[in-house]
Homo-oligomer: A and B are copies of this chain.
Amino acid sequence: MKELKGACVIGQSGGPTSVINASAYGVIRTALDNPNITAVFGAEHGIKGVLNDRLFDMSKEDAKELELLKYTPSSALGSCRYKMKDPDVDDTDYKRILEVFRKHDIRYFFYNGGNDSMDTCNKISKFMQRSGYECRVMGVPKTIDNDLFGTDHCPGYASAAKYIATSCMEVYQDARVYDTGMICIIEIMGRHAGWLTAAAALATEYGAGPDLIYLPETDFDIDKFLADVERVYKERGNCMVAVSEGIHYADGGFVSEAKTSATDGFGHAQLGGLAALLANVVKEKLGVKVRGIELSLLQRCGAHLASETDIEESFMAGKAAVENAAAGITDKMVAFERGEIDGHYACKTKLLNLTDVANFEKKVPLEWINAEQNFVTKEFIDYALPLIQGEPKLPKEDGLPRFARLKKELAK
């Protein structure tokens, strides 16, 4: 192990999750406790905080408030959606990052994000290597979409999955309370991968969830969909459907973007999202009561329903990033490997090359989708169920969540 003395910076990027701050806390706490790491900075709004030299001195924060990050949803340091240019085309940003790194003697860079963020992380890592500036770079994964390559699952997914499954179970109770039937369509996040929508099947597994589930891994057929819904409604007197926001027709066009169409007769000027659109189509076709529900931002910030497993693993990912970097490793992303201990689910970290993970998307395997393409198989349940276990002891103040309150003092 080669010792490297210097400061570290952690940035958060992309869409937040309920537990992304648990990873940030894993990085920050471990770094603060490491004697070789001379300063711990939090970048304001991800890489933009580095570019703008807006770095918070994390040593100024109260230790108890930092610990509350484990239970505080959304990116506490602020996030960004900033796409770095190819450094061969324009290396302005990279030079600026190097300048700021030099200024603060930053020798460790931790980037907490999803696919795009790993691409950013990878580009910075390679630029630092080419520049001969010694900086250890580690990606810390997060994404509710669960679509990062090479890892069994992604920090943040399980908590969103638990929120979705629990909410579906509750809505199921409500949506069949009257003696008149109802069709309920729930729209769930996931533009290209159906992991989140598939999580609604956990509710069904426990007796109160959707009858039908449509993922973006397969092509959506509106006539087949209407026939499915009609059949279930006739059989059971009610029907609950979970759809991914990313469902698309065979030609690739998103169903959510369907506008006027003379042929299918269900085009509408659209204000609501996909759930509202499909609800209208079903109502027109079947003439029954239909309600569309969009879980919207709630599913990715619902920290009150976080999985304790997810919180602990997210923390572990951040901690592993610092420990590995301190041990001399660089240019990697922390990933998860599923195993078993005494017949029970266990999870440990492994390291993947940043180059290998950047920009790949992992989708729900087609074998986990049923032949009718309107539900998922038991393999998915077995995969997802261990991830949502455990109830965190959420800090509360007067019955409401007590989130971390950071001072965010800028580094000198």
Contacts and interface: CB of A to CB of B under 8 A. Distances in A.
A410 to B, nearest CB: 15
Given A280-B271, A396-B391, A169 B401 contact: yes
Given A75-B177, A178-B45, A202 B301 contact: no
B271 A178 contact: no
A81 interface: yes
B166 A401 contact: yes
A104 interface: no
B74 A177 contact: yes
Contacts of A300: 174
Number of copies: 2
B304 A297 contact: no
A303 interface: yes
A30 interface: no
A79 B298 contact: no
A158 B270 CA distance: 34
A171 interface: yes
A173 interface: yes
Interface in A35-50: 44-45, 48
Contact of A400 (B202, B270, B292, B400): B202
Given A80-B178, A178-B45, A398-B389, A170 B301 contact: yes
A78 interface: yes
A402 to B, nearest CB: 8
A226 B129 CA distance: 51
A53 to B, nearest CB: 14
- Interface range, A side: 35 or more
A400 B203 CA distance: 8
Contact of A74 (B44, B174, B304, B307): B174
A76 to B, nearest CB: 8
A193 interface: no
B296 A293 contact: yes
Nearest to A396: B391
A255 interface: no
A307 B170 contact: no
Contacts of A271: 268-272, 276-277, 279-280
Given A45-B179, A293-B298, A208 B403 contact: yes
Contacts of A405: 207
Contacts of A80: 178-179
Nearest to A54: B179
8 contacts: A44-B179, A78-B178, A80-B178, A162-B400, A167-B298, A169-B401, A174-B297, A273-B276
Given A16-B177, A206-B398, 19 more contacts: A48-B179, A73-B173, A73-B174, A74-B173, A79-B177, A80-B179, A166-B400, A169-B403, A170-B401, A171-B297, A171-B298, A184-B297, A207-B403, A207-B405, A271-B271, A276-B276, A291-B297, A307-B399, A391-B399
Rank and list the top 5 A-B pairs by shortest CB-CB distance, nearest first: A272-B272, A74-B173, A271-B276, A174-B301, A170-B301
